[in-house]
Amino acid sequence: AQSVTQPDIHITVSEGASLELRCNYSYGATPYLFWYVQSPGQGLQLLLKYFSGDTLVQGIKGFEAEFKRSQSSFNLRKPSVHWSDAAEYFCAVGPANRDDKIIFGKGTRLHILP
Amino acid sequence: SQTIHQWPATLVQPVGSPLSLECTVEGTSNPNLYWYRQAAGRGLQLLFYSVGIGQISSEVPQNLSASRPQDRQFILSSKKLLLSDSGFYLCACLFTGFGSKLFFGSGTQLSVL
């Protein structure tokens, strides 16, 4: 069955520290992978996406993610977080085919300490 | 450019009343369309998706329904709302050119009282 797992519900880091948000997936074919960010009361904004090619993907706001097929993972990273990065982050997978679904993880809420 | 219009932004409805949320898409044709719900403190739950006019796949059995009367219009409905229907509803669009991103509407905050 298709699924996306974000094992960390909450993560707290200090401003200026590095960040890694974990995402693992289960999908029948090679999926398309996305990371989205959602600020309180807002819609979702795409940070980055992976479809093929270079497994290290650069996104907006200084974020990057690395696709590791052997580990079925697509972890999101940022070398130095800013207070404005506090938000909820969602990993999503699919569709490999037109009729497939797009599935989201349950999200990781990021808290930033001053 | 692709845009998604979703309305209303907020909605307060009594239990047992009907619901109709509308989503329209511009700048694309024959897109995949999705309805998601985000309950307070929870992730995104896929409710319905559609790959074409009149084609609806339901992911969660419940008192909600969806329709796609036109290529770029996706409607979420209910005949009688329940308290548990409260949440943040998001419409999303993925157009057929694979390799493109999933666009989201701005969402509708539904409160059922």
- Chain center to CA of B6: 8
CB B17 within 8 A of CB B80: yes
Inter-chain CB proximity B43 and A106 less than 8 Å: yes
Q: All domains of chain B, ordered by start, with CATH?
A: 3-98 (2.60.40.10)
Q: What is the pLDDT of residue B6?
A: 85
Torsion sign across C-alpha atoms A67, A102, A97, A48: negative
Q: Give how far Cα A2 sits from Cα of A46, A104, B39, Å.
A: 21, 10, 21
Q: What is the pLDDT of residue B1?
A: 64
Mutation for testing the A interface, residue in B49, B102, B103, B104 having most A CBs under 10 Å: B102
Multiple choice CATH, A3-113, 2.160.20.60, 3.30.70.920, 1.10.3720.10, 2.60.40.10: 2.60.40.10
Q: Is B9 on the interface with A (CB under 8 A)?
A: no
Q: What is the pLDDT of residue A63?
A: 96
Strands (E), chain B: 3-7, 10-13, 19-26, 32-38, 44-52, 55-58, 64-70, 73-78, 87-94, 103-104, 108-112
SS3 assignment, position A34: strand
- In angstroms, the CA B7 to CA B11 distance is 9
pLDDT beyond 70 at B70? yes
- In angstroms, the CA A19 to CA B78 distance is 42
- Mean pLDDT across chain B, nearest whole number? 86
For residue B108, with 0-12 CB atoms within 10 Å meaning exposed, 13-18 middle and 19 or more buried, which class applies?
A: buried
B2 CB neighbours in chain A (<8 A) are none
Domain boundaries, chain A: 3-113
Beta-carbon contacts of A53 under 8 Å, excluding residues fewer than 6 positions away, are none
The total number of residues shown for chain B amounts to 113
Which structure tokens are listed for A28? 């029948």
Mutation for testing the A interface, residue in B44, B47, B60, B98 having most A CBs under 10 Å: B44
pLDDT tens across A63-84, in order?
999 999 999 999 999 999 999 9
CB A93 within 8 A of CB A27: yes
Q: Is B35 on the interface with A (CB under 8 A)?
A: no
pLDDT tens across B4-57, in order?
888 887 899 999 999 999 999 988 888 889 999 987 666 788 899 998 999 998
SS3 assignment, position B21: strand
